[in-house]
Amino acid sequence: SYTKRQMTVAIIKPTSKQHLAWEAFKNPEITDILYGGAAGGGKSYWACQVAVVCCLELPGATIGMARKKFTTLMKTTYGTLIKVFGDMGMSKDEWVFRGQPYNDITFKNGSKIYLLDVAYQPSDPNFDNLGGLELTHAFGEEIAEWNKKAWEVLQTRIGRNNVSPGTFLGAA
């Protein structure tokens, strides 16, 4: 059973661009946020903060974090998630990473972050592997590399679990 914990409040000092993105994310009328910029500009860190905050505040939330190649996602985004957990004062007993076949991070309150591979596979040209997902929000890394169909299918999976209005966050 999940009991609400006393959480250390992370002091978030967003850049002006991150602040604008947070404001857009909080606006229920905005369903897509495309966040561009140079490497090192804080896009991934911001998206990981959003994912973790949503998971902590919305029991049962499901966040999809996707990249064209799963191995690259694990080398980059997963590492950023670990950094965000530390920066937010979260201990290792508050979340669990489950590898294959799940590839998710599960929180004590039932929320999950799914780590998704959206590479085109000739055996799955319609991205049916994404079809059963019920996501609260989704974040796409390096979306300029994605197959358009992957983005279209993932869009249909957002807002499906009724925890909160869904938003797609894309970084290019």
Per-residue confidence (pLDDT) for residue 11, from 0 to 100: 56
Q: Average pLDDT over the chain, rounded to whole?
A: 83
| Contact (Cβ atoms closer than 8 angstroms) between residue 62 and residue 162 | no
**Res 3: pLDDT:** 44
Residue 170 has pLDDT above 80, yes or no: no
Task: State pLDDT tens for residues 5-20.
Answer: 454 455 567 777 777 8
Is the entire prediction scored with pTM above 0.85? no
| pLDDT score for 83 | 92
Higher pLDDT, residue 110 or 91: 110
- In the chain, the percentage of residues whose pLDDT exceeds 90 is 33
* Stretch 8-33: mean pLDDT: 74
